[in-house]
Amino acid sequence: MTEDASKAGGTPGKKSLRPLGGVLAAMAVSLTGTRISVVALPWFVLATTGSATRTGLVAFCEMAPYVLVKAFTGPLVDRIGPRAVSWTTDLASATAAAAVPLLHAPGLLSFPLLLVLVALIGAARGPGDLAKEVMVPEAAERSRVPLERATGLSGVVQRLASTVGLAAGGALVAVLGPLTGLAVNAGCFALGSVIIRLALPRGTGHAVEEAPSRTGEAEPGYWQRFGEGCTFLRGEPLLLTVIVMVGITNLLDAAFASVLVPVWARGSGNGPAAIGLMGSVMGAAAAGGSLIAAMVAHRLRRRTVVLAGFLLAGAPRFLILAFDTPMWAVLAVFAISGFGTGFVNPVLGAVLVERVPRRMLGRVNALGDSLSWAGIPLGGLLAGAAVTAVGLVPVLLVGGSAYFLTTNLAGLRPEWRQMDRTRGAARRNQEDVPRESANVAA
């Protein structure tokens, strides 16, 4: 540990924010590009095909590989280290994203080829996002920043990047067209790769040594690591309940962002600039919420914070678009929703990191993320088909009701009481616990 600490930008006794700053900077850049594409890609498909169903199909083809590949990448992240995974996959994402405008310009981009390219983007982006998430706890430790503060800062960075990305995406698409937004997305991925490869200290993001290697036993293989992650997750009722709930809300969020909002913006005449403005207002409010959460979340009851955050973040966004309301009212609701959202991820992120032994963080995080994101590929697909069949307003009303019921019913489950007792397990799980004790629930 002392040798790695010196590599991380200083001596073991000297505090350096370089590791955490490098991870957060890479997160900010790559997520900004992703949010630009959230506006540019659906608008590109709508503008070229006029089909909500095809727009949903594109979202499916990006997110299905994202979820699937991410699920099986966890053992590799634990084995070879998240730093190497992050910069290589960001570079792959940049290459696939750049191919879209380059092939469209000479008329070589068919719709099936577009589906292949967005699938490649999703397949590369999943491991890249996972690797950055896994580096946060170690970077926080090296920078001597409390875990909840680090996850809160991570949330702030993600929200600010979303704000900037959506605003930039809306402006770029409105002024220069969606292809420009897609080209900028590729550039952001490339820059993120450079930050991780060159700016992040080599001591950060190394693979965590497995306990068996210290006792002379053979190092576990890929499928054994994967199985250990599955076994651990099955023994954590709290994490499983959170994953199921977040999986449903993620499906609804994906339907909302990839199809419902673009269709609403096009039908109402507000255009792509409105998408960027709404996302920016929500992102800025979420950044404020995450910043407050980073400062005070450790003093609050976690279950109350999470449920209140979801109550503000979910149903109101769906319902406000279902009625003919002025733009200022829409923006006000999105600001309130964003503020609530800002409190959710820092708390849930801290709960996950505290309950999972560090040596298993990559594989358990990958499995948890993939399960909670499993509905995202279907969100756009189902929303596109539903809007085509019954229209936008009924789908918005059903989506808002489903969001409200899901988050409130999940919070009534008894295992959620463990969320406020998680801190006691944190010290044990930060150590490299023996394998035989890894499945003991906190």
pLDDT score of 47: 83
Q: 81: alpha, beta or left, given left = phi > 0 and alpha = psi -120 to 50? A: left
Nearest-angstrom CA–CA distance, 439 and 442: 9
pLDDT mean over 29-51? 84
pTM for the whole structure: 0.62
Cβ count within 10 A of residue 221: 11
Domains parsed from the chain with CATH numbers: 16-207+222-437 (1.20.1250.20)
pLDDT score of 397: 93
pLDDT score of 212: 47
Q: Helices (DSSP H) in 356-391: which residue ranges?
A: 361-372, 376-390
pLDDT mean over 264-274? 81
User: What is the DSSP code string of 331-347?
Assistant: HHHHHHHHHHHHHHHHH
pLDDT greater than 60 at residue 430:
no
Cβ count within 10 A of residue 11: 11
pLDDT greater than 50 at residue 9:
no
372-383 per-position pLDDT tens digit: 777 877 888 888
285-311 per-position pLDDT tens digit: 887 887 777 676 666 677 777 888 888
User: Number of C-alpha atoms within 13 angstroms, CB side, residue 312?
Assistant: 22
pLDDT score of 64: 82
pLDDT score of 394: 92
pLDDT score of 213: 44
Nearest-angstrom CA–CA distance, 297 and 291: 10
pLDDT greater than 50 at residue 13:
no
Q: pLDDT grade, residue 334 (50/70/90)?
A: very high
Question: Which tokens belong to 131?
Answer: 């690797």
Q: Which long-range contacts (CB under 8 A, 24 or more apart) does 419-422 make?
A: 419/238, 419/302, 419/303, 419/306, 419/347, 419/351, 420/301, 420/302, 420/303, 422/238, 422/302, 422/350, 422/351, 422/354, 422/355
pLDDT mean over 310-325? 88
pLDDT greater than 80 at residue 24:
yes
58-72 per-position pLDDT tens digit: 888 888 888 788 777
83-140 per-position pLDDT tens digit: 888 888 888 989 998 998 898 888 888 888 999 998 999 888 888 888 888 787 777 7
Nearest-angstrom CA–CA distance, 429 and 224: 20
pLDDT mean over 189-210? 68
Nearest-angstrom CA–CA distance, 146 and 427: 12
pLDDT score of 333: 92
